[in-house]
Amino acid sequence: MMRSFIPVPENSDFPIENLPYGVFLPPGASKPRAGTAIGTQVLDLKGLEECGLLGTSVFGGTTLNAFMAAGRPVWSTGRSRLQELLSEENAEFRDNGSLRRSLLFDQHTVQMVLPADIGDYTDFYSSKEHATNVGSLFRDPENALLPNWLHLPVGYHGRASSIVVSGADVKRPKGQSKPVDGVPGFGPSRLLDFELEVGFFTGPATAMGEAVSIDKAADHIFGFVLVNDWSARDIQAWEYVPLGPFLGKNFATSISPWIVTLDALEPFRCAGPTQDPVPLPYLQTDEEWSFDIALEVGIKPENGEEHVVCRSNFKHMYWNICQQLAHHTVGGCNINAGDLMASGTISGPEKGSFGSMIEITWRGTDPVQMPDGSERKFIADGDSVIMRGHAEKDGLRIGFGEVSGKVLPAS
């Protein structure tokens, strides 16, 4: 285990082995800056770079896009250099008190902002358990999966403009919906839901017409964030045929502020579910690209007590990140640094691991009982939805922090 001269509390998400990347606004500052989290502190990477201690020139902007575009060798070298500077044995930064005071901030004193200029956003549908549950609820339990699902990573193009960072409020959307035995109407969504997801940001851009092969996909994956793909189920159910999600999904997507790198998560790679039938050759890989990341979702009513409604794991995903990116680009779709790809709802095999309220309450027929005596079929106004994630093995804990959002009434 590595040790830093900066104190790291027990069970912290952010030990020196993690060092996730984010963008923050220091107290009194007018422009955000790139940073990394260690313990309860945020380290200003722009300032560290300007002092010549990093040997890079990628943190000068107000986003991480330039660093993402630099590629895996720069990512790995930069992370190793940060670990060296923060280690308890290294005096370069440790013994420079004035520099430490100018570049280290308590996390609770800074404002986190979106870490990247997100040009494009794709949301996949890669949990077999989730797809089976939804298919059972809306179609035929005996034929829950659509014919294509076991052959390719299904996805849709989401709305990048409404991606927000953790802590941003989410206004209840309005739109059309149709009762089973009624006519279409318009108004605030009555079936507002969360979706527990993990997303990855892409790195080096590709040219239009160029495919990313599955064995090179990891070179284009910068790191992971937690994602809450807010969903208005009643609006979605009425609109999604024939072209898929639209207003039921485009009003908000929340992400956690810290991007956890593939290097930090390397110890937690694991085998994914057996894929049957065997994928087509362009989706085949002998490497293990699932990750053992424990996930949970809590609902906290306004002025109330948080209640955990889901505990799941990223390792349940049927289609892995490299398969997702290889399929996304196989037809020649180009990617850019800072594109976001989300996993789709992550559900496990048991009810307690279902990653959305429509599954947890089985479309509202089995409500969740809250500590204050109320019940939830879906998300109520004033509720905050809080998602957390971490990986832990042999005494090493790598965490994401959390992504939270409070639901405000429709206007």
Active site residues per annotation: 130
What is d(CA 380, CA 263) in angstroms, rounded to the nearest whole number? 39
Q: 45 near 33, Cβ under 8 Å?
A: yes
Q: 193 near 172, Cβ under 8 Å?
A: no
171 contact partners, CB below 8 Å, separation of at least 6: 251, 252, 407, 408, 409, 410, 411
Tell me which residue of 139, 148, 161, 118 sits closest to 240, measured CA to CA: 139
Q: Which helix (H) or strand (E) holds 341?
A: strand 340-342
Q: 220 near 193, Cβ under 8 Å?
A: no
* Rg of the chain taking only CA atoms, in angstroms: 21
Tokens of 51: 């002092």
Q: Which helix (H) or strand (E) holds 22?
A: strand 21-25
Tell me which residue of 290, 245, 232, 239 sits closest to 265, measured CA to CA: 290
What is d(CA 322, CA 11) in angstroms, rounded to the nearest whole number? 30
What is d(CA 258, CA 112) in angstroms, rounded to the nearest whole number? 9
Q: Which amino acid is at 112?
A: M
Max Cα distance, the chain (Å): 72
Q: Please tell me whether the peptide bond between 27 and the residue prior to it is cis, using omega within 30 degrees of 0.
A: no
- DSSP letters, 128-189, are HHHHHHHHHHHS-GGG-S-TTTTTS--EEE--GGGEEETT--EEPPEEEE--TTS--EEEE-
Buried b (16+ CB within 10 A) or exposed e, 355-392: bbbbbbbbbeeeebebeeeeebbbbbeebbbbbbbbbe
End-to-end CA distance of the chain: 51
